[in-house]
Amino acid sequence: MKYVLWAIVGIIMFAWLFSLCSPAGGLKTGHEYMPDMVHPVSYEANLYSAYEWNHWDKESVKSKAELSRPRSGVEGTVPRGMTAVYYTGSEAISAIRGGNAVNAIAAPVNGHAPFYYQNTEADRYAAERDMVNNPFPITKEGLDRAKPLYDIYCGICHGKDGKGEGDLIKTEKYPAAPKNLLAEDMVAAGNGRFYFAMMYGKNVMGGYSDKLSYEERWQVIHYIRSMQAADKQLEYSEKANTLSNVEKPANGTASGPARAGNTVQPPAPPAN
Ligand code: HEC
- 46 vs 25: CA distance, rounded Å: 18
Q: Which of 137, 99, 117, 141 is nearest to 249 (CA)?
A: 137
Task: Give 189 Cα–ligand 1 centroid separation in angstroms.
Answer: 14
Other beta carbons within 10 Å of 38? 9
- Tell me which residue has its CA closest to atom 24 in ligand 1: 197
Mutate to test the pocket of ligand 1, among 124, 158, 219 (most ligand atoms within 8 A of CB): 158
Task: Give 106 Cα–ligand 1 centroid separation in angstroms.
Answer: 30
Instruction: State the closest ligand 1 atom to the C-alpha of 211, by its place in the atom list counted from 1.
Output: 38
**Which DSSP state fits 31?**
B
Mutate to test the pocket of ligand 1, among 134, 145, 154 (most ligand atoms within 8 A of CB): 154
CB contact at 8 A, 128 and 231: no
In the chain, ranges of CATH 1.10.760.10 domains:
115-254
Classified by CATH at the fold level, domain 115-254 comes out as Cytochrome Bc1 Complex; Chain D, domain 2 (1.10.760)
Alpha carbon of residue 147 to chain centroid: 23
169 lines ligand 1 (CB under 6 A): no
Q: Which of 268, 227, 260, 232 is nearest to 138 (CA)?
A: 227
CB contact at 8 A, 127 and 195: yes
Handedness of CA 115, 218, 105, 264 (dihedral sign): negative
- Tell me which residue has its CA closest to atom 2 in ligand 1: 157
Q: pLDDT tens string for the chain (272 positions)?
A: 788 999 999 999 988 877 777 676 766 666 766 666 665 555 555 555 555 455 566 766 666 666 666 666 666 666 555 555 555 566 655 655 555 555 555 544 444 567 888 999 999 998 888 888 887 889 898 999 999 999 999 999 999 999 998 888 888 778 888 999 999 999 999 999 999 999 999 999 999 988 888 888 999 999 999 999 999 999 999 898 999 888 888 777 776 665 544 444 444 555 54
What string of DSSP letters covers 121-190? HHHHHHHHHH--S-SS-B-HHHHHHHHHHHIIIIIHHH-TTSSS--HHHHHS--SSPPP-TTSHHHHHS-
CB contact at 8 A, 252 and 233: no
Q: Which of 189, 216, 190, 211 is nearest to 200 (CA)?
A: 211
